[in-house]
Structures are given as structure tokens and as C-alpha cells.
């Protein structure tokens, strides 16, 4: 198992959290996505290494942006 945390900007509500969770959750290998709305932290757990670019693309698809 691998866990990584990313910072996402622009999320303001539960719908935002759901959108990001759904998109990131579709990345192959991802087993869990936890989103903290207050801090913008998105923690991704996977059964294999996940490419940061794939997470960035999924967050972009949801309409938000990775910070950094």
C-alpha cells in the first residue's frame, strides 16, 4: 500500500469533495480517497505507485487544481 497527500485549491462544498473523490478514485490502483474540505488535503491510498500527473489530471477533470 502507498499513501500520498496532495493539496487541492478551489473546493468549497461537499459537492466539490464528491467530484474530486470520484475522479481520483477512477485512477487505476487507487483503493481509497479521503478529502479534507477545510484544509484542501486529498489523501490517496493505492495498491501500487500512482503517478502525480494522473492525480493532477483527475483533479483538473473535476474542475479544481493541485497546489504546488
Q: Domains, the chain, ranges and CATH?
A: 2-66 (3.30.70.100)
Give the percent of the chain with pLDDT over 90. 99
* Element housing 32 (H / E): strand 30-36
The pLDDT-based confidence of 55 (bands split at 50, 70, 90) is: very high
Task: List all residues 6 or more positions away from 67 whose beta carbon is below 8 Å from its beta carbon.
Answer: 6, 7, 8, 9, 40
pTM, two decimals, is 0.93
d(CA 49, CA 36): 22
Tell me the per-residue pLDDT of 34-47, one tens digit each, with 9 for 90 and over.
Answer: 999 999 999 999 99
Residue 68 has pLDDT above 80, yes or no: no
Amino acid at each position: 500500500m502507498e499513501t500520498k497527500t496532495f493539496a487541492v485549491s478551489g473546493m468549497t462544498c461537499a459537492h466539490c469533495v464528491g467530484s474530486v473523490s470520484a475522479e481520483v478514485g477512477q485512477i487505476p490502483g487507487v483503493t481509497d480517497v479521503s478529502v479534507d474540505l477545510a484544509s484542501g488535503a486529498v489523501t490517496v491510498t493505492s495498491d501500487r505507485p500512482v503517478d502525480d500527473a494522473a492525480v493532477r489530471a483527475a483533479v483538473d477533470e473535476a474542475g479544481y487544481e493541485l497546489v504546488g
